[in-house]
Amino acid sequence: MDNSQFQQTLELHSQNIAGLMDNQLALAAQVHVMQAALATVLLHNPERTALLATFRQYMKLSKQAAPQLADRMEALEAGMSALLGGETH
């Protein structure tokens, strides 16, 4: 591979990395907006106790389905449980 091919490949990889970083930031922003909307709905829902039980069941299934993400889900799960009136661990 000559120097110009190397430069082109390096530029292409740099652009791909920048695109991935932009996508990651966009996804993080979407998650924050969705969390705020969900928190608003949950705080005003009269059935929070029932929702908490269902949420815990779904979280158990989610962690079993994606064990590599389970540790990362723990803090988010605790925050959502607190919004629903549950205990945090």
Per residue in 32-58, pLDDT tens? 898 888 888 888 888 888 888 898 999
Residue 88 is predicted with a pLDDT of 59
**Residue that wins the pLDDT comparison between 30 and 75:** 30
Residue 29 is predicted with a pLDDT of 93
Round the average pLDDT of the chain to a whole number and report it.
89
Give the separation between CA 9 and CA 28, rounded to whole angstroms. Answer: 29
